Amino acid sequence: MKRLFPSTINHRPLKRLRPRHLGYAALGYAALVIAGAFLGAEIVLRSKTRWVKGDFVPVGRRGNKLYLPASPETLSKGPLGIVPLLPNRGHLVVGPHRMVGTVVERPILQERGALPHGALAWVSTYLYNGTPAQLGAEYEDVLVPTEVGEMPAWHVPPHQAERDALIIVVHGHGGQRAQALRMLPAMIRTGCGSLFVTFRNAHGAPKVGKGYLTLGDTEAEDVNAAVLWARENGYKRVILYGFSMGGNIVLSVLRPRFEPSPLPVVGVMLDSPALEWRDTIRWQAQRFGLPGFLARRVGRFTQRIVTRRSGQDFEEVDQLAAAPRFKVPLLLWHGTRDRTIPLAQAQAFAAARPDLVEFHRVEGAKHIRTWNISPKEYDGQLERFVSRVLA
């Protein structure tokens, strides 16, 4: 029987990939893995960020309301800090946003100094980019002696004359001391003194060797030196408070190598902590768009490069593996929108030590922005925890 509709399709055999094509593909794959790994290693090993993250935008003002151009920063949940650039002076905290046409409207909650209409200003979810003086708090610049040099710090003494407990605050990878000033009012209300410290190879601190970080290992020596500083300045006990990589650092201070501690560590507070760096490196590779199988290979190669350059021992800073040895109460916050450190690490840590860890999963919070979602709730959790561990 004849076909009514003869086929017009020309069936040709598929061409086979030539060996050189396969070779080009393999070379491209290898180049991608190597380039990604070297870039990742450079990010992991260095931390020299000077400025607190934020946007620079023109600010409109009408009475007690500010108007800002829409951006991820100005549309973030919770309050923002506004610092006008020179020649203006001042600082504002603004409340939750709402859209008015194409601009973002926020009410002024606190104001120091002046912010005129049309000023160019720094806008940030970190609220502050200076010193405790931005909050009107009394403080002193101090230096913490360590084996590698003196580390700059801010000391906010307690209101009462007697010095009992000191909260030692440690920023993260590429972070700055100012990032934790949002929590200073709550820390002051606890009756404790506060010491905002930094560590070797961070901005403003002494450079050691090639300037490489060790992800919590040797940086813990500088925080342990801050505990010794506390003893020499009349304090009797300490609470450690770490953000991101700072969380790994303060947990590293609890290792047996630092026993006996210069002062009793009665509690630890962790905000979005980096608890397992190998997992974090793989997570970061996927964050930059690499598929899972490629992210795993880039992650493993990155780890080899980091170890070869700095001698990094990833086992030494694996706080998930170390969880069984901890003995002090821990307060832990982690946000569900954290794209820097996997939420799963905090969940695993809390599950491993439910007897010690008070865990707060903060819905909608980005990396170290858990306070911003509900400042009153966060402050209350902090104050109650401090009261409990000092009782």
Q: How confident is the model at residue 11 (pLDDT cuts 50, 70, 90)?
A: low
Cα separation, 147 vs 237, in Å, equals 22
Overall residue count recorded for the chain in this entry: 391
pLDDT value of residue 374 = 97
Predicted confidence (pLDDT) at residue 130 exceeds the cutoff of 60? yes
18 or 251, which is more confident: 251
Residue 88 pLDDT greater than 80, yes or no? no
User: Peptide bond before 324: cis, by omega within 30 degrees of 0?
Assistant: no
- pLDDT range class, residue 41, cuts 50, 70, 90: low
Q: Does the pTM of the predicted model rise above 0.85?
A: yes
pLDDT in tens, 340-351: 999 999 999 999
Nearest partner of 114 among 82, 90, 136, 130, judged by Cα: 90
**What pLDDT is attached to residue 308?**
86
Please give the C-alpha separations between residue 167 and each of 179, 259, 271, 345, in angstroms, as whole numbers.
15, 19, 14, 24
Residues 303-352 have pLDDT tens digits of: 888 888 888 899 999 999 999 999 999 999 999 999 999 999 999 999 99
pLDDT of 2 reads: 45
* 27 vs 99 pLDDT, higher one: 99
Per-residue pLDDT reduced to its tens digit, 60-87: 999 999 999 999 999 999 999 999 987 6
Map out the domains of the chain with their CATH numbers. Answer: 54-124 (2.40.10), 132-276+318-390 (3.40.50.1820)
pLDDT at 183 > cutoff 90: yes
CA atoms within 13 A on the CB side of 193: 28
User: Predicted confidence band at 57 (pLDDT cuts at 50, 70, 90)?
Assistant: very high
Of 266, 249, 244, the C-alpha closest to 334 is 244
**Residue 261 burial by Cβ neighbours in a 10 Å radius (0-12, 13-18, 19+):** middle
What's the start-to-end Cα distance of the chain, in Å? 97
* Residue in 234, 231, 241 with CA at minimum distance from that of residue 270: 241
Q: What is the per-residue burial (b if ≥16 Cβ within 10 Å, else e) of 171-206?
A: bbbbbbbbbbbbbbebbbebbbbbbbbbbbbbbebb
Encode pLDDT of 208-244 as tens digits: 998 898 999 999 999 999 999 999 999 999 999 999 9
Q: Say whether pLDDT at 353 is over 90.
A: yes
| 250 and 167 Cβ atoms separated by less than 8 Å | no
Q: Reply yes or no on whether the pLDDT at 17 is more than 60.
A: no
pLDDT > 60? residue 16: no
Please determine, for residue 191, whether its predicted confidence score (pLDDT) is greater than 90: yes
What does the alpha-carbon distance between residue 279 and residue 220 come to, in Å, rounded to a whole number? 21
Mean of all residue pLDDT scores within the chain: 89
Q: What is the pLDDT of residue 306?
A: 85
Q: How far is CA 59 from CA 68, 268, 318, in A?
A: 5, 39, 45
Question: String of b and e for 89-98 (b: at least 16 CB within 10 Å)?
Answer: ebbbbbeebe
pLDDT bin (cut points 50, 70, 90) of residue 24 is very low
Asked whether the predicted pLDDT for residue 26 surpasses 90, the reply is no
What is residue 286's predicted lDDT score, i.e. its pLDDT? 77
Give CA–CA dist 358/344, Å, rounded.
16
Is 144 within 8 Å of 226 (Cβ atoms)?
A: yes
